[in-house]
Homo-oligomer: A and B are copies of this chain.
């Protein structure tokens, strides 16, 4: 069997398998799989180049199911490729199975988790940029998208960037099955509404009948031969195609269908496709000079940690050719521009599109690059769902958010990150770092290069005093006791900008005979629980962040089961800030030296009274 006959039969096999898997599991999305089965069959049988034994091979094509709920189709493809046994195929959605309800990289042939709609295409753009500009390899990126998810703005961020970066290695296949979860989509079967939009964004578009395998094949060929721009194949399909009882019917989204569908579909098939392996090719390497030239700052001088980030990142790029940088059109504020000027070929402007910014980083790390993506920390909140999903993708990306807290000053609350510590702490497996000076920033940026998972660095707008010498080490999970005596009355735990306020407070308290220890908790997650648990005085925590979920609560969580649980006062931002000068705003929020000293004084007195 070959050609159109094979493609048609394989399509039916994929449908049967979707029905079988979901029926056994009692849940899943067979109808959404059935609409895209022919689109997937022709791809696997005729166009895809992939080594299932070497899924990490840089030469492989990449296939991303942006419509991740069509997981029965994803797993059916792996079975058809001979990668997945019939036995394992039968474990769909069971605890302990690699075949989760939505695809995740616990399966080696899945690069990224999908299931939050609108993410596969932006991630595919990252893979595509890497292919053209970093790896410099001829692999293709295929992304199967649902029609419903075209309502997500992130899909249009992807459309914009794919055209801007001229990603002719990228093909988006839009499975227009007309029906969303609860009813018809905005555009139903009006294919032109999709193709008009893609064309306006600079794509080549092809409209086809998504169940006509010859049209599908021709469209893929046309996509492969289109240069200078990405291609969208807009395919009219039928949800539940092949099982007359559910075809094009509402009410069947995310539901298993009766097994009599198998009979109507012509029964179980066991076609195996011998997917051609791509020609072995090595990815391009950027050979950095190799001599590390780490920036260093003189103790007592002043530098903004955001500036130190840019300088450290540029230096890191000088010793590690896998480091790349991306920024959301604020590189002159985050200082990613220093990296851009040093390593222009490894810098990517993502404009004001934070979802695409993070998604591109996720895509690049699929191929082993080490992306550092930066914007204002406040605007990282725009990409929070992408960060959440990146953790499920087991992605290793490095994020830097500048302009943290009220200390930014006059620009006002819209530009102040006050929830980023809480948000990033609540990301699975994340690392959250918050330096207070230039030399510490340098060391933490170096550390980030080797941290697995999502790491987040919070930087400060203002110039702050350099406290540490360039030789000091700052292990992730550690802390620094920057001031202490043998008999401290109170301990102040701070990070970032508030370390400087805490030191000023301690100085003031010393003049009054109150001895305050000051701990710089630069590693907010993981936390130096051991040091925190050794504290025997009352504690004041102080953070330029809301009281919820930040530094203070992190400290409390470290102490919650300790034998000694000192009293902790959390100083944090509690009222909506306004515009003003940084010092005024720190004072207004009650997190400046004066307020820290007052809180510490009070707690120390309570202790003395006991």
Contact = CB atoms under 8 A, between A and B. Distances in A.
A181 B330 contact: yes
Interface in A309-336: 329-333
A365 interface: no
A72 interface: no
Given A101-B579, A152-B153, 11 more contacts: A28-B410, A102-B414, A117-B352, A118-B382, A152-B157, A152-B352, A182-B332, A199-B200, A422-B425, A552-B557, A553-B556
Contact of A576 (B153, B391, B425): B391
Given A115-B412, A561-B567, A580 B95 contact: yes
The 9 closest A-B pairs by CB, nearest first: A153-B153, A115-B414, A95-B580, A549-B549, A422-B426, A200-B200, A101-B412, A419-B426, A156-B156
A21 to B, nearest CB: 12
Interface stretch (A129-137, A219-227, A581-589): A581-589
Interface in A60-102: 68, 93-97, 99-102
A392 interface: yes
Interface string A398-439: 000000000001111111001100110111110000000000
A547 interface: yes
15 contacts: A27-B409, A94-B580, A102-B411, A148-B329, A149-B352, A182-B337, A197-B200, A384-B423, A388-B419, A392-B414, A422-B422, A423-B423, A426-B546, A428-B546, A553-B556
B153 A155 contact: yes
B351 A151 contact: yes
Interface string A496-539: 00000000000000000000000000000100000000000000
Interface in A177-224: 180-182, 185-186, 196-197, 199-201
Contacts of A152: 153, 157, 352-354, 382
Contacts of A426: 418-419, 422-423, 546, 548-550
B115 A180 contact: no
Given A182-B332, A330-B182, A382-B385, A148 B580 contact: no
Nearest to A562: B567
Nearest to A356: B153
Contacts of A384: 381-382, 384-385, 423
A460 interface: no
A24 to B, nearest CB: 12
A321 to B, nearest CB: 25
B561 A557 contact: no
A560 interface: yes
B561 A415 contact: no
Contact of A101 (B153, B200, B411, B418): B411
A332 B201 CA distance: 33
A552 B115 CA distance: 28
Interface size class of A (residues with CB under 8 A): 35 or more
Contacts of A330: 181-182
A302 interface: no
B181 A414 contact: no
Contacts of A153: 152-157, 353, 355-356
Contacts of A569: 560-561
A383 to B, nearest CB: 8
A578 interface: yes
B156 A382 contact: no
A419 B414 contact: no
Interface of A: 25, 27-28, 68, 93-97, 99-102, 104, 106, 113-118, 148-149, 151-157, 160, 164, 180-182, 185-186, 196-197, 199-201, 329-333, 337, 351-356, 378-379, 381-382, 384-385, 388-389, 391-392, 409-415, 418-419, 422-423, 425-429, 525, 546-550, 552-554, 556-557, 560-561, 565, 567-570, 576, 578-581, 584-585, 588
Contacts of A154: 153
Nearest to A422: B426
A329 B181 contact: yes
A333 B411 CA distance: 41
A182 B556 contact: no
Contacts of A93: 410, 412, 579-580
A329 B580 CA distance: 42
Nearest to A568: B560
A342 to B, nearest CB: 16
Contacts of A422: 422-423, 425-426, 548-549
Chain B CB within 10 Å — which of A25, A27, A330, A382 has the most? A382
Given A199-B200, A549-B553, A186 B104 contact: no
B576 A392 contact: yes
Contacts of A548: 422, 425-426, 525, 549, 554, 557
B415 A115 contact: yes
A151 B201 CA distance: 11
A529 to B, nearest CB: 13
A143 to B, nearest CB: 16
Contact of A379 (B116, B186, B409): B116
Chain B CB within 10 Å — which of A197, A414, A560, A570 has the most? A414
A412 B332 contact: no
Contacts of A549: 422, 425-426, 548-549, 553
A446 to B, nearest CB: 25
Contacts of A151: 157, 160, 329, 351-353
A546 B426 CA distance: 6
Chain B CB within 10 Å — which of A152, A425, A550, A556 has the most? A152
A182 B337 CA distance: 9
